[in-house]
């Protein structure tokens, strides 16, 4: 049994808390949101996980420093925009015997660091000698994991010993965990697939059928692989659970914030209006500016990504993405 701290009480953090509690671990879940922690502690429910009854055994807290005492595993489940801040603050209370796990999908502004790279840098700055950093990613909606429905995910670390340790912590009869050493590839898949999911939602909102949804997923995979090639990732990663698997579930399901956000855009809403309807963080929006930086830096041809960016940030008509998809490319397809 491990003593585990989850930093972040969003739907994914809480769903993972439930999973780990059922696995027999002692779990503490932290958030600075006092009202949310009160709801979780007293009513054992999350406002965004209405069909999930939470266990009374998970400890929910707003006390940051005390929450680290005696923990074996530190899990970061906060949005990418606040990831560095929370990791940096946590360095005052961690040590080199602990494991550090990222559940967050995205990249950092300016540095273009992935979440694991942020953890590694902060560990180095703090003088903590540890390589026990693991990324968890794959086709896993919080709503389904919270209910205990069968799901599969990837545990990725450059050191396979560490990925297998986290595999053992998380795995049970309804939660299959695979391992991977291509950490960068897993994190690139996690970030870029959200953009493709927005595109799929836009096409759905425009009234198009399954043909275009399948097409945008397939062409989106091609775009992700181009990015992976530029960044030195393994192509096999993009064909696995962390790549095409996660993209399929995110780009087709009504449980997906990115898909639903895109659908509202396709129906005619502007970015702010669509965000208000979602009422939660849409990581694909946060990632888009970084995606454009990558396109410019490596001179990549990513029409879907460019199209989504124009619609989200420059108020381009939603049908713009259709014109990009249907246009014949001069480059090899």
Residues classed as catalytic? 193
**Nearest by Cα to 18 from 50, 69, 57:** 57
What H or E segment, with its residue span, contains residue 239? none
> Within the chain, how many helices (H) and strands (E) appear?
15, 8
CA 267 to chain centre: 25
**Nearest by Cα to 184 from 114, 122, 245:** 114
Q: How many CB atoms lie within 10 A of CB 302?
A: 23
Enter the tokens of residue 48.
């965004």
Distance, in Å, from the CA atom of 262 to the CA atom of 195, rounded to the nearest integer, reads 9
Do 75 and 5 form a contact (C-beta atoms < 8 A)? Answer: yes
- Alpha-carbon dihedral of residues 12, 167, 112, 250, nearest 10 degrees? -50
Enter the tokens of residue 211.
């043909």
Q: Give all strands (DSSP E) within the chain, no chain letters.
A: 3-7, 26-30, 59-61, 73-76, 99-102, 133-137, 151-156, 175-180
Contacts of 113 (CB under 8 A, 6+ apart): 107, 121
Please provide the DSSP assignment of 80-105 as one string. GGGHHHHHHHHTTS--TTSEEEE---
């Amino acid at each position: 049994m491990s003593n585990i701290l989850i930093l972040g009480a969003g739907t994914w953090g809480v769903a993972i808390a439930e999973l780990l509690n059922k696995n027999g671990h002692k779990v503490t879940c932290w958030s600075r949101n006092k009202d949310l922690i009160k709801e979780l502690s007293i009513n054992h429910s999350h406002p965004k996980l209405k069909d999930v009854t939470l266990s009374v055994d998970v400890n929910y807290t707003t006390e940051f420093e005390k929450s680290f005492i005696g923990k074996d595993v530190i899990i970061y489940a906060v949005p990418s925009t606040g990831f560095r801040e929370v990791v940096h603050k946590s360095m005052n209370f961690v040590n080199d015997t602990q494991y550090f796990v990222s559940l967050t999908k995205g990249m950092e502004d300016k540095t273009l660091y992935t979440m694991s790279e942020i953890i590694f840098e902060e560990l180095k700055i703090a003088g903590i000698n540890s390589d026990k950093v693991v990324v968890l990613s794959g086709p896993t909606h919080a709503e389904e994991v919270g209910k205990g429905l069968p799901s599969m995910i990837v545990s990725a670390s450059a050191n396979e010993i560490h990925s297998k340790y986290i595999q053992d912590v998380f795995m049970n009869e309804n939660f299959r965990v695979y391992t991977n050493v291509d950490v960068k590839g897993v994190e690139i898949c996690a970030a870029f697939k959200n953009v493709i999911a927005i595109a799929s939602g836009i096409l759905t909102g425009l009234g198009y059928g399954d043909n275009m949804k399948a097409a945008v997923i397939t062409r989106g995979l091609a775009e992700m692989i181009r990015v992976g090639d530029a960044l030195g990732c393994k192509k096999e990663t993009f064909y696995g659970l962390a790549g095409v698997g996660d993209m399929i579930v995110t780009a087709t399901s009504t449980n997906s914030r990115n898909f639903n956000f895109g659908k509202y855009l396709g129906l005619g809403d502007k970015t702010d209006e669509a965000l208000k309807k979602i009422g939660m963080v849409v990581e694909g929006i946060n990632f888009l500016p970084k995606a454009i930086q990558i396109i410019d830096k490596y001179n990549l041809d990513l029409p879907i990504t460019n199209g989504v960016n124009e619609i989200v940030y420059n108020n381009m008509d939603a049908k713009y993405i259709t014109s990009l998809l249907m246009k014949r490319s001069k480059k090899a397809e």
